Amino acid sequence: MKDVIRLCERLAPPGLAADGDNVGLIIGDPASRCAGIVVALDLTEGAVALAIAEKANLIVVHHPPIYYPIKRIDLATPQGRLIDMVVRHGIAVYAMHTNLDFAPRGLNDYVARLAGLGNVRPAAGPGKAVYRIGTLGKGMTAAAFARQVKAALNISSARLYGDAKKTVRIVAVCTGAGADLLADADARGADLLLTGEVRHHNAMECAGRGMCMIEAGHLGTERPMVSLVAAYIKKMMVKPGKRIRITSLYAEEPFRDY
């Protein structure tokens, strides 16, 4: 287990995480031998069932299953049942959250490149936040870029705020809930901010600044974490000649449109 933990920490050093974020080994014995790995966005009953079926004893997730301090493990609650399931089956859980978002080869960087941006570079936002800014070679309309993002991330919709006909060349990217970075991105010359969640006041601010913003969904912008982390671990585990099965679990969008 320690070898895999070291690999995860190399990709996303825990010290990069936002203050108060609960990253690293959340549940499990670091001294145990790793028999197999499941990579998933969240710790769910489906992820645990897959780990059991694959005889994997480590689940690497993006969202920490224990974020706030807990005073009791109540098996009548979803969180309590999940903790009970992994402990009973000897499964460890490791979380790579904002440290993976901000890391040099992390999620913001990965999604920016998936979206078709070039010259991708880090931008230090408020606190420890490190998002990305990149460029679109010839530029395109905001509407055309929204369609490109939709295809690249394989999502059902990419909601556009602002002038659909605006020519976009410089794009800021922050996966998850990054709409509060709008002012910082504007100050750095970004024409558009691509993020996962947008609140009403963010949309009003976007209009006031004459910028554009694309809301691609929290899951839509963070689901690529699975392919990023699984490919990285697989590549790094080959070097010492280890043979550990790595299984990816891609979550479906929890929301439905009617």
Interatomic CA distance for residues 191 and 164, integer angstroms: 12
pLDDT tens-digit series, residues 189-244: 999 999 999 999 999 999 999 999 999 999 999 999 999 999 999 998 876 666 78
What confidence score (pLDDT) does residue 224 get?
Answer: 98
Q: Is the fold of 2-100+223-249 the same as that of 104-221?
A: yes
Query: Does the global pTM surpass 0.85?
Result: yes
What's the pLDDT at 258?
85
Tell me the helices (H) and strands (E) count for the chain, helix number first. Answer: 10, 11
Phi, psi of 114 (to 5 degrees): -60, -35
Q: What is the mean pLDDT of each run of 10 residues along the chain (258 residues)?
A: 95 97 97 96 97 97 95 95 97 98 98 98 94 95 98 96 97 97 97 97 95 97 98 84 86 84
**pLDDT value for 143:** 98
For strand 118-124 and strand 24-27, is the pairing parallel, antiparallel, or unpaired? Answer: unpaired
249 forms beta bridges with 40
CB-based burial label for 167 (10 Å; 0-12, 13-18, 19+): middle
Q: What are phi and psi of 130, to 5 degrees?
A: -125, 100
pLDDT tens-digit series, residues 135-150: 998 899 999 999 999 9
What is the model's pLDDT at position 256? 82
Phi first, then psi, for residue 244 (nearest 5°) are -115, 130
Distance (Å, rounded) from C-alpha 167 to C-alpha 142? 6
Q: Which residues contact 99 (CB under 8 A, 6 or more apart)?
A: 12, 13, 14, 15, 16, 17, 21, 23, 106
Q: Give the homologous superfamily in CATH for domain 104-221.
A: NIF3 (NGG1p interacting factor 3)-like (3.40.1390.30)
Report angle CA 25, 221, 198 to the nearest 5 degrees.
110
- Sheet of strand 159-161, all strands in order from the earlier edge strand to the far edge: 118-124, 130-141, 167-174, 192-195, 212-215, 159-161
Question: What residue segments make up the domains of the chain, in order of their start?
Answer: 2-100+223-249, 104-221
The matching CATH number, chosen from 3.90.1150.10, 3.40.1390.30, 3.30.565.10, 3.40.50.1220, for 2-100+223-249 is 3.40.1390.30
Question: Which residue, among 81, 217, 241, has the nearest Cα to 155 in the 3D structure?
Answer: 217
